[in-house]
Chain A
Amino acid sequence: MKRLMFIAAALFSAAAAAESGVLARATELKKEPFSDAATVQELPAATAVEVLARKGAWMQVKAGAQSGWVRLLAVRMGANAARSGESGLMKAANVALSGSSGTAVATGVRGLDKEQIANASPNPAELAKMDRHAAAEGQARSFAAAAPLGEQTVPYLQ
């Protein structure tokens, strides 16, 4: 069990370490995740970065020899990271996710592709089940208070 957990942790950190991105625009590399923090370096658009951590609006990255924080919205992720789709790890995960093996269909994966939606018949029993999971307003309010989540008045963006 311990060994399994270690392997899982190793796989996870390998995947996380491989998260790479590129800057969509020129942006400042900051020493801390704040807009008024010291600027380590001005990074030009298309700079390759390695993602180390996320914090709200900010992403901790390594860019060449430097590391620091850039605005999360300036970063676009690479499509060839180790987490990619059906190669290896994720394929195994998908097999695990698709549940009992006896339900496999022609398309290989269960549920919610175009073909399966086209062939679907309404399932009122599941809809009734969904009703039973509904939250009442009071319940949602105490759920938020427990976090706690504070309400804000914010206008929509243009």
Chain B
Amino acid sequence: MNITRNLFALALLAGSSSASAAGFGDFLNQASDAIGTYGQQAADVVTDKGVDEERQIGSEWAATLLGAAPLWTNDKAQRYVNEVGLWLALHSERPQLAWRFGVLDSPNVNAFATPGGYVFITRGLLARMRNEAELAGVLAHEIAHVVEKHHLEALRKAQGLGLGAGLLKQFAIKDKGNAAVNDRLLGGVKEVASRGLDKGDEYEADRMGVVIATRAGYDPYGLPAVLQTLQALNAQDSTLALMFATHPEPGARLDALDKAMGVTLEAYAAQPQLQPRFQKTVGKP
């Protein structure tokens, strides 16, 4: 895992100082030669244009998830999740995104994010939570994915882009009017949604999530508590299938959090869990 993280950091470093080394430029040229026809077409789909375009990909992605399961028709719960979520996001490195949070009307146990600031949690997962700190832990994990742009990276990989295109830190739909391009984007989105992110990205989002929740004033142990709940559920349950297929198993995530957290956040363990507000607002989903 450390190796993965170091490589990731190295790639970011290289990306942020692309003019630095001539040797790296040669490497780049070789890499883009190797991209091939399909990769080149896919490279046209995404380019470095910033937040608006990231948002565009994210909203199309979010609309696709909403095509699989609509929003839960409980406006009070939807507004509540937006308040918890935005408060958390204000303690991330991207507070100014147009953050949107939603509860999907599905009994499946899962949570999702898409680029640009869309975050979803299923009614099935909400039903298994005890308090607002647990909700905050899960939302903060998803916020971390958005902050780190993990989904854009996964989309890039799913579309077969080579290393050269990996230097483009931000992605965009270049050819909006082109139906074939949109289909390709939609295909990539669906592939990532059902195949999941890199396992290393999930561990990173766990480590960041507990800190974001702590910064926002919550008991840091909400996310670990949810992971324990998931661990106690039967892995054969079909409502867990996609979540277990796309994430490291909860025990491994708890092991990693145990190592990373140590006793560092224990000083904040008395911060509120807000069970009454959670129960009152969410009820029994």
Q: How large is the interface on A (under 10, 10 to 19, 20 to 34, 35 or more residues)?
A: 35 or more
Our pick among A81, A126, A153 for the contact of B66 (Cβ within 8 Å) is A126
Our pick among B67, B69, B86 for the contact of A137 (Cβ within 8 Å) is B86
Q: Could you tell me the distance between the alpha carbons of A121 and B70 in the complex, rounded to whole angstroms?
A: 12
> Dominant SS at the A interface?
loop
Chain A residues positioned under 8 Å from B225 (CB to CB): 54, 72
Chain A residues positioned under 8 Å from B265 (CB to CB): 57, 154
- Closest CB in chain B relative to A143 CB, distance in Å: 4
Q: Are B234 and A86 in contact (CB under 8 A)?
A: yes
A122 contacts B by Cβ under 8 Å: yes
Q: Are B238 and A110 in contact (CB under 8 A)?
A: no
Chain A residues positioned under 8 Å from B231 (CB to CB): 76-77, 79
Q: Could you tell me the distance between the alpha carbons of A116 and B66 in the complex, rounded to whole angstroms?
A: 11
Q: CB-defined interface of B250-285 with A at 8 Å, one 1/0 digit per residue?
A: 010011011011011110111111100100000001
Chain A residues positioned under 8 Å from B90 (CB to CB): 137, 140
Q: Could you tell me the distance between the alpha carbons of A68 and B108 in the complex, rounded to whole angstroms?
A: 35
Q: Are B64 and A118 in contact (CB under 8 A)?
A: no
Q: Are B98 and A134 in contact (CB under 8 A)?
A: yes
B237 contacts A by Cβ under 8 Å: yes
- Closest CB in chain B relative to A9 CB, distance in Å: 13
Tell me the A124-158 residues at the B interface (CB within 8 Å).
124, 126-127, 129-131, 133-135, 137, 139-141, 143-144, 147-158
B241 contacts A by Cβ under 8 Å: yes
Across the two chains, which residue of chain A brings its CB closest to B127? Answer: A97
Our pick among B91, B261, B266 for the contact of A157 (Cβ within 8 Å) is B261
Our pick among A94, A117, A133, A143 for the contact of B239 (Cβ within 8 Å) is A94
Please indicate which of the listed interface residues A25, A74, A147 has the most CB atoms of chain B within 10 Å of its own CB: A147
Give the number of A-B contacts (CB < 8 Å): 244
Q: Are B108 and A135 in contact (CB under 8 A)?
A: no
Tell me the A87-110 residues at the B interface (CB within 8 Å).
87, 90, 93-94, 97-99, 107-110
Across the two chains, which residue of chain A brings its CB closest to B62? Answer: A127
Q: Are A140 and B87 in contact (CB under 8 A)?
A: yes
Interface segment among B16-24, B29-37, B167-175, B214-222: the answer is B214-222
Q: List 26 A-B contacts (CB under 8 A).
A: A21-B228, A56-B270, A57-B221, A58-B269, A72-B225, A72-B228, A73-B261, A79-B234, A85-B233, A85-B234, A85-B240, A90-B237, A94-B124, A94-B239, A109-B107, A111-B108, A112-B65, A117-B64, A122-B63, A122-B67, A133-B82, A134-B98, A137-B90, A140-B90, A149-B87, A151-B216
Residue ranges of B at the interface with A (Cβ–Cβ < 8 Å): 59-60, 62-71, 75, 78-79, 82-87, 90-91, 98-102, 104-108, 110, 118, 122-124, 127, 132, 186, 190, 193-194, 207-208, 210-211, 214-221, 224-225, 228-229, 231-242, 245, 251, 254-255, 257-258, 260-261, 263-266, 268-274, 277, 285
Residue ranges of A at the interface with B (Cβ–Cβ < 8 Å): 19, 21, 24-25, 35, 54, 56-58, 72-81, 83-87, 90, 93-94, 97-99, 107-114, 116-124, 126-127, 129-131, 133-135, 137, 139-141, 143-144, 147-158
| Given contact pairs A85-B233, A86-B234, A134-B100, a sample of 19 additional A-B residue pairs in the complex whose CB atoms are under 8 Å apart | A77-B228, A86-B237, A97-B123, A109-B107, A111-B107, A111-B108, A112-B69, A112-B104, A112-B106, A114-B241, A117-B68, A133-B102, A143-B83, A144-B87, A147-B272, A147-B274, A150-B217, A151-B91, A157-B261
